[in-house]
Amino acid sequence: MRKNGILMHISSLPSEYGIGKMGKAAYDFVDFLVTAGVKCWQILPLSPTSYGDSPYQSFSVCAGNPYFIDFNTLKREGLLKKSDLKDIKWQDSEDSVNYELIYKSCFKVLKQSYKAFKRDSSKSYKAFKEQNAYWLDDYAVFMALKFANDGKAWYEWDKKLAMREKAALAKASKELEQEIEFFKFIQYKFFEQWKNLKKYANDKGIEIIGDMPIYVSYDSAEAWVSPELFCFDKDKKPTAVAGCPPDDFSKTGQLWGNPLYDWDYHRKTGFKWWIQRLEFSAQCYDIIRIDHFRGFESYYSIPYGNETAEEGEWKKGPGAELFKTVNKQLGNLNIIAEDLGFITEDVREMLSEVGYPGMKITQFAFGNGSGNEHLPHNYENSNCIAYTGTHDNETLKGWVDSQSKETLEYCMAYLNVKKKKDIPKGILRITWASVAKIAVAQMQDFLGNGKSGRMNTPSTIGINWQYRTKAEDFTPKLAKKILKLNKMYNR
């Protein structure tokens, strides 16, 4: 069945609280998607964001972002009063997220709801804690200690706590008992609201495409609790970190800094941690997009402490063996492999072996002649997901505005359009007309947003992850336009 999707993160939903939440605006957006004939809503990782605000650098692989918890729902449940939300500044403008403002106030408000909730001996809360104990217990202790240490990374804490010495950990856990429980409560409310929103979308015929980063952050509960999973020395310092080699776009390569996995250890345990992680993701999403999929075939390893990625080397990953093991345990999951970047024949063979659809990006199609693999006429089969662009790319309008005259002339000839302003519409059309299993566009492309609508510019720090929409953006006229495109191309 041919499908279509819209990519927009929860953070970009309209909200009076400075960032999108899982409240009325989220349900209204689902209704808009239904009217527009959209089959899939793709989001970014739901994880809590850390410094830099990227959902790909999180304190946990399982936890949900507290910023997305809807305060109005908590009010209806009697867990917040109007006065709890009074005189709080959430935003500088309706157009962008100010994470600093939200960080300052979000936890204060949630603390008020926790105080109101404590008196309620909820059976579902107890059940949630039991079912999720394998990650929740450690995460809650990690966050309580992080807050007690003024937000410092775990490797900057007192050495006894950083190394998880039993006596020091037991003492701190006792002292921070209420704070630990508070962070468990936050996760309970997050997943309660997410489960309800996902059910609403599913009941309306919309699937959720979620996103799973391949790597974890060094400053994460997983790195603190389970150093054996990673290439760490005896002091829990990485021996090597992740990144990308130098190329035409980056002369010194990309230094991501994430810990690398000790794949020998993962093999010995039958990939238990990965099976748990994917099982949890499959409960949160209907389809899982795995970021940097090529890293499972081979990954770029950079010595820890290097300031650039120039001295890294490629090392072999687990390949298809990991996913064959996962399939035996969990059955065939709906997975999209993000296979962009430096792709070798070995990576193609692994993809072919596991059978997951890869990705095509129409923005990448207009260079290197008519044999470009991202041009729809070159798709080998329908086992791929076609994107006009992802959160890491320009919006279509922004892309057009940044291209050379030569590229635009070729693009207009290919699309058979006469004017530059018609290129975005033409790119949407050929992406939807392609044989790809699912065709996806960013919401910004349907709204006609330019450069200011870009969600993220990779390898930069600054104005990223801030894009927001307004309720008035989602008009019946726009829904009709999207529906027409979906009907035209049987999506």
Identity at 66, one-letter amino acid code: P
State the pairing for strand pair 298-303/313-316: antiparallel
d(CA 476, CA 36): 9
d(CA 296, CA 316): 8
Q: Which long-range contacts (CB under 8 A, 24 or more apart) does 343-350 make?
A: 343/294, 344/294, 344/297, 344/298, 346/297, 346/298, 347/294, 347/297, 347/298, 350/296, 350/297, 350/319, 350/320
3-state secondary structure of 352: helix
The sheet that has 287-290: what strands, in order across it?
Answer: 335-337, 287-290, 207-212, 40-42, 3-7, 438-442, 384-387, 358-361
Q: Of the residues 53, 179, 338, 394, which is catalytic?
A: 338
DSSP 8-state code for residue 305: T
Q: Which two tokens stand for residue 178?
A: 């209420």
State the pairing for strand pair 254-259/207-212: unpaired
Q: Which DSSP string corresponds to 426-468?
A: HHHHHHHHSS-SEEEEEHHHHHT--GGG----TT--SS-S-B-
Q: Of the residues 291, 297, 394, 445, which is catalytic?
A: 291
- Note whether 222 and 277 are within 8 A (CB): no
d(CA 99, CA 201): 27
Q: Of the residues 28, 77, 392, 473, which is catalytic?
A: 392
3-state secondary structure of 313: strand
- Note whether 179 and 52 are within 8 A (CB): no
Total length of the chain: 491
Q: Among this protein's residues, is 392 annotated catalytic?
A: yes
So which residues are the catalytic ones?
291, 338, 392
